[in-house]
Amino acid sequence: MAEVKLVNVSKSYDSKSMVVTAVNLEVQDKEFVVLVGPSGCGKSTTLRMIAGLEEITSGEIYIDGKVINDLSPKDRDIAMVFQNYALYPHMTVFDNLAFGLKLRKYKKEEIETRVNEVAKILELEAYIKRKPKALSGGQRQRVAVGRAIVRHPKVFLFDEPLSNLDAKLRVQMRTEISKLHKRLGATIIYVTHDQTEAMTMGDKIVVMKDGIVQQIATPLNLYNLPINKFVAGFIGSPPMNFAKGKVIKKDTSKFIVNEEIQLTIPSKFNSVLSKHLGKEITMGIRPEDICNISNLNNKDFQKLEVQIEVVEPMGNETFIYFNITGEQFIARVPSSNNYRAGKKSDVFFNTSKTFYFDDEGNSLN
């Protein structure tokens, strides 16, 4: 397999707007890296530049230490799996899997060996003579993945390969791709807009917004140490809650949203927040850190009375929605019948798990 390196890689279609701006990224050999972000953030364009399907405007792309900017896609020794599968409808599964090998003039015996090996790995043996129209969505996706595997490329590129599948099949397929990565020891760069896919599959995640890399980190570091408000709100499901307010220092430091909502700030935040006394900043708290019962032995659990707007029973847990000065908040609590839409109830904020951001959205934690 191979290492992939992007150095100040940018893309623009005209002189006025940048689609991708100065991306710097190192993908280690056998690493599974996920590019994630909202639609239009430049993640697929970045992947297509690595594949050679888009020309780069500036910067350099390396595979195995060699600059590949001027190489055609077929000479980069990469394999790409597309969102729409891109199977040949008139060909059988076998012929779809074998097509790339036939173009490269492999011997018939070698082609049969490789195709049969991949069909076994992906459990496609029973469908080898079928055409794509006779396959389910998950089976077609496995054929598309198999067509990439059969070539033994240095790098696998996946462009939102699961977005056309239903929810249950997406979960199944992402597990299969993760297992396949471990089995093959492959270098994989994977694009998705689904942060759950990113968190569960990636060794390392690249979060992008407006063509700019916001943060590169492991899933847990992104979750626990987001560099800015965008990353904090994008990573996590349901997303982080935010409220604007001011830090006021009296006998203790308090975060004041309005007269009714005042939270005592744990002492561990005092040193950094003291620089922002009296200034408007944003507090963030994840839904799972808003509780329905207080931990009586922990002074960091602080009570607020709120008006419940929506209750969503999810089986083993319940999402409750309420409003704080125009901002919708979500709490993720154990299954409970205690909450009713339209009623006032107590919730408890675990203030030791709060995040703080300045007026530019940079993390203050």
What is the per-residue pLDDT across 191-223, written as a single tens digit (0 to 9) for each? 999 989 999 999 999 999 999 999 999 999 999
Q: Using the predicted structure, report yes or no on whether residue 348 has a pLDDT greater than 70.
A: yes
Percent of the chain's residues with pLDDT above 90: 55
Cβ contact 347:262 at 8 Å: no
Tell me the longest C-alpha to C-alpha distance in the chain.
81
Q: What is the pLDDT of residues 28-87, one digit of tens each?
A: 999 999 999 999 999 999 999 999 999 999 999 999 999 999 999 989 999 998 888 788
Q: pTM of this prediction?
A: 0.89
Write down the mean pLDDT value for the chain: 90
pLDDT band at residue 296 using 50, 70 and 90 as cut-offs:
low
C-alpha to C-alpha distance for 36 and 44, rounded to whole angstroms: 9
Average pLDDT for residues 338-349, to the nearest whole number?
A: 88
* Helix 137-149 / helix 108-121 crossing angle, nearest 10 deg: 130
Supply the pLDDT for residue 235: 94
What are 320's strand-pairing partners? 311, 331
User: Is the sign of the CA dihedral 361, 362, 364, 365 positive or negative?
Assistant: positive
User: pLDDT by residue (tens digit) across 105-156?
Assistant: 899 999 999 999 889 888 889 999 999 999 988 888 889 888 888 888 889 9
Q: Which two tokens stand for residue 219?
A: 């899933």
For residue 300, the model assigns a pLDDT of: 83
pLDDT at 167: 81
Q: At what angle do helices 167-184 and 137-149 cross, to 10 degrees?
A: 20
List the domains of the chain with CATH numbers: 4-234 (3.40.50.300), 241-357 (2.40.50.140)
Section 345-361 average pLDDT: 92
Express each pLDDT in 228-272 by its tens digit.
999 999 999 899 999 999 988 876 788 888 777 888 888 888 888
What residue type is assigned to position 239 of the chain?
P
